[in-house]
Chain A
Amino acid sequence: MTEADRTKTILRSIHGRPSRRYYIIMALALLGIIWYGQAYVFQLQNGMIVLGIADWGSSGGIPWGLYVGSFIWWVGIAHGGIIVSAAVRLFRLNTYKPVARLAELLTLIALSVAAFYIVVHLGRPDRVVTSMLRGWPTTVHTSPLAWDVTVITLYFVLTATYLYLTIRADIHSLKMELPRIFSPLYAVLLIGYREDEKKKIEGMAWWLALAVIILAPLFLHGGVIPWLFALLPGQPGWFGAAQGPQFLTIALSSALGGVMIVAYLFRRLYGWEELLDDNVFRGLSRWLALFAMLFLWLQLQKIITGVSIAPDSIHTATRATVSEPLYWLALALVGGALGWFGLQMLFPQLFTVERTVVAAALPVMATLIEKFLFVVEGMMHPVFDLYQGVPGYYTPSWIELSSVVGAISLVVLFFLIVSKVIPVIEVEVEHDE
């Protein structure tokens, strides 16, 4: 494939009239967003009483539910993106270069969805900015939620800067071929662009990649997100020094699955079999297998230590976890994916991209279930369980369930639009020299 051919193929997503399939997907995505939109308006009008959550304690409820579970899930998915991309740059894993930008975009939108989940979960969303900023200088010393918002904001800024820096060269070289309607946007993106900035940009991008690869696994999903739960005194189900590694393996499993699904959909939509070739999927599935294995291994640690002679409260919480069928469903899904990837490695003739992507989707589903259970079960078995209303019960309301549809629709819509505005695969091939 010559470079000109390659560029032409990449621009397929931008040029030409969108296909019927494109419009159908867009209509479905819009429908999903509108559906959750009206559900959220209903929530705003009537208060959070319309959700399935309630106070824990004498009230017999659970105060955090699917909204918080989904929040963690999306933050987890957000990792995939930039970690894949940063690894490509730092460790020269050039096989995955074609998915790097798609992955970066997934990070940006997944982080935005996570932020959206924080907002809809609040009783007074109108105060989110004022109250948060007002208290920040003091709350950041002790509040894991304040750390969380800080690190996620930092992560978002790093990722957006990284994407912005690496996209400038592409936009500059393709300026003539990009749709004129967006030219003001391109002009803004290219402010101060110089032909000779490439080397400097490369250096900056390298440092950003390094920052991200340290920040995201060690301090975000292996740090502040699990600390949100593990630092609390009264909920033994959330306690544990291994909570960080556990969260990280779960996040990376969902993230790699997410990247593979997005990459596959683009491959189908624009006939990018040559750009996003089988090797990309084969390689990603191996990484996913590794993280799925670590995921199961750390769950094993938790169960083994929790159900043996653990302190009473931890024992109770772990027993509750292992008696929950949904928990085993989640582990079975991850185990299923791991088993399939193992078979594929042993018998390469079994490999097809479709099968790989289906298997990759299993951990993505499993992690949503696991995150949901983690949040809810932690509150169900507190140390202080003398209440008649403990363990409380919780069934997600139609509004909370709709939010999952709405969030996925938002991500789909984002990709549909972005793929018409910028090249979602890097055009510049000679970065590394």
Chain B
Amino acid sequence: MTSPEHDGVHESQPLSAADVFDAAWEEKVRSAMASTGWNADLAIQAARGALDVLAGGLTEDEFQSRLHDAYLREFGVDLRPRTEEEMEAAALELDTAAGAVALPVVDSRAAAAGEAPVAVTARGASAHPTVSRRTAIAVAGGGIAALMVGDLLGARARQAEAQTPGHGSGHAPTGPTNGAGNGAANGKHKVQMGMVIDLERCDGCLMCVSACKKAYGLQDGVHWLYVLAYKEPDKPNNVNLLVRPCQHCSNAPCVKVCPTGARHRRSDGIVLTNYDVCFGCRYCQVSCPYGVNYFGWEDPKDAGGGFTGERKDGRGKSVIGAPPRGVMGKCIYCPGRQDSIHQEPSTHCSVSCPMGVIHYGDLNDPESEPNRYLNKRVADSGGKLSTFRLLDDLGTRPNVIYIGHRPSRRAEPTANPVKYEDWGLVNERRTVLEGPEPWFKRMFGR
């Protein structure tokens, strides 16, 4: 199979819950719920509402309020927080509980400086590193040389810190449900988050592209996830598709070339940009062979007003949401979702895809969802499945495994089956990057 079929292409309307949870699905739910004795209608309504919240069509508030009475009738109580105060109180409660049980974490900076490890709570570690008086005097007294050594140790410590996901957060990922928290600490299993993308199932509807843009308040023309359409010269009638998120390479050129260390790789293999450190030289963008980076050329000015959610991941680093002006951004594999104890590994694009194209999880875990999916596809195809990693001959060790046709060197770009414009998206960002006119043009006209 070299090209997906396009007779099933969706209309250009954004997909709603009704499209995903269709009549057949309803039937399944009803039969499953029958034995429980609970209200199947309420379950269906809740599921649809939840999808609408994800897609951005419904706020969490509206969702909670809409079903409040039904919940009371069914369960007698509704413990879900509804007002903002209630939500804040609930979040605080969760934080306090997590802080109280936080495991002792060794202060890596002190350890690197050759001192006795100091136990601090996970919450305190990143905010107030413990530095003993002896270290302080040694550093101060040593002059430039000591500063250099200190800086080196600091960098090592930062590196070590970057290796600890969830460190410094009340939401430390724990348990086998979460790929990020699983393993790295015990040294047995090295987590590598990644994707299996089944191009043979993709119909190019661009729902993933739109979901990503909405979730992070990305500016027009910024496509952290982008769907390319192309043709091979020997089969000019076939339109092939390539879904292109960041490849989160194990040997990422962008991480290597970054002169500030802002672009880094987390211990779960997610490649991120620290928005508080990046100084916007764009070397990562220049070095990336996939073209996944999108710079903050201006202040966000889209209708959404940019991103208003939590900017920090589990380690307390600013890596989430559209980048501020002057700083580089790209696909982030939704670290907020990975660092939450409430969720299975997933990304906005993977959950929004109606065709089941994107499968996200730990590629090093044979039991992870993407690996199970891949194995099943291999088995179903009788071992004849075409899989590839994009431009892996460049030595980048990308962490997206594609199922489907590998584009040849002679492939040519072509029009997408569903246009970006149909979703109200801008395809080429260059066309909307227009700054204000300088004073002399305003004054003297053209």
Interface residues of A (CB under 8 A from B): 39, 42, 46-51, 54-61, 63-64, 118, 121-125, 127-128, 131-139, 142-146, 149, 232-235, 312-313, 379, 382-384, 386-390, 392-393, 398
Contact = CB atoms under 8 A, between A and B. Distances in A.
Contact of A63 (B289, B295, B395): B295
B325 A123 contact: yes
Interface stretch (B2-10, B164-172, B296-304): B296-304
Interface string B143-182: 0000010011011101100000000000000000000000
B14 interface: no
Nearest to B290: A384
Interface in B222-278: 223, 226, 228, 230, 242, 253, 256-262, 277-278
A200 to B, nearest CB: 25
Interface stretch (B59-67, B200-208, B433-441): B433-441
A135 B277 contact: yes
B288 interface: yes
Contacts of A49: 297-298, 433-435
Interface in B327-368: 327-328
A124 B407 contact: no
Nearest to B390: A384
Given A47-B297, A131-B279, 8 more contacts: A54-B433, A55-B295, A57-B291, A60-B430, A60-B431, A124-B327, A131-B277, A390-B291
A386 B411 CA distance: 7
Contacts of B97: none
B281 A121 contact: yes
Contacts of A124: 278-280, 326-327
B110 interface: no
B228 A387 contact: yes
B211 interface: no
B282 A149 contact: no
A142 B242 CA distance: 31
B121 interface: no
Contacts of B326: 47-48, 122-124
Contact of B260 (A55, A139, A142, A398): A139
Contact of B394 (A46, A132, A234): A234
B286 interface: yes
A389 B391 contact: no
Contacts of A123: 278-282, 295-296, 325-328
Max count, chain B CB within 10 A of own CB: residue among A46, A60, A138:
A138
Contact of B262 (A50, A131, A144, A389): A131
A121 B293 CA distance: 17
A132 B279 CA distance: 9
Ranked nearest first, the 9 interchain pairs of A and B with the lowest CB-CB distance are A123-B280, A57-B291, A234-B289, A123-B326, A135-B261, A50-B435, A59-B429, A60-B430, A131-B260
Nearest to A238: B286
Contacts of B280: 48, 122-124
Contacts of B294: 55, 59
B373 interface: no
Contact of A143 (B257, B293, B439): B257
B297 A54 contact: yes
B413 interface: yes
Nearest to A388: B413
B409 interface: yes
Contacts of B151: 133-134, 136-137
B279 A58 contact: no
A54 to B, nearest CB: 4
A352 B288 CA distance: 51
Contacts of B257: 142-145, 232
B423 to A, nearest CB: 14
A382 B390 CA distance: 14
Contact of B428 (A42, A145, A388): A388
Nearest to B326: A123
Contact of B258 (A48, A50, A139, A387): A139
Nearest to B437: A50
Given A47-B299, A312-B409, A234 B288 contact: yes
Contact of A233 (B226, B228, B396, B427): B396
B283 interface: yes
Contacts of A50: 435-436, 438
B318 interface: no
A138 to B, nearest CB: 4
Contacts of B282: 63-64, 123
A132 B286 contact: no
B418 to A, nearest CB: 14
A47 B435 contact: yes
Contacts of A131: 260-262, 277-279
Contacts of A64: 282, 286
Given A63-B295, A383-B394, A233 B287 contact: yes
A236 to B, nearest CB: 10
A286 B241 CA distance: 58
A132 B260 contact: yes
B421 to A, nearest CB: 13
Contacts of B320: none
B429 to A, nearest CB: 4
Contacts of B299: 47
A121 B281 CA distance: 7
Contacts of B434: 49
A48 B152 CA distance: 33
B417 interface: no
A244 B154 CA distance: 34
A392 B286 CA distance: 13
B221 to A, nearest CB: 6
Given A63-B295, A139-B260, A145-B259, A55 B429 contact: yes
22 contacts: A46-B435, A49-B433, A55-B285, A56-B291, A58-B221, A58-B429, A59-B428, A64-B282, A127-B277, A132-B279, A135-B259, A135-B262, A136-B155, A139-B259, A143-B257, A232-B257, A233-B394, A233-B396, A386-B242, A386-B411, A387-B228, A392-B430
Contacts of A234: 253, 287-290, 391, 394
Nearest to B259: A145
Contacts of A390: 291, 413
Contact of B293 (A55, A133, A386, A389): A55
B218 interface: no
B374 interface: no
B155 A138 contact: yes
B260 A393 contact: no
Contacts of A122: 279-281, 326
A337 B409 CA distance: 41
A232 B286 contact: yes
A313 B223 CA distance: 25
Contacts of A312: 409
Contacts of B228: 58, 386-388
B391 A384 contact: yes
A313 B408 CA distance: 12
Contacts of A393: 430
Contacts of A46: 298, 435-436
Nearest to B441: A398
Contact of B286 (A39, A59, A146, A235): A235
B197 interface: no
A134 B261 CA distance: 8
Max count, chain B CB within 10 A of own CB: residue among A379, A382, A386:
A386
A56 B428 CA distance: 10
B292 interface: yes
Max count, chain B CB within 10 A of own CB: residue among A122, A233, A313:
A233
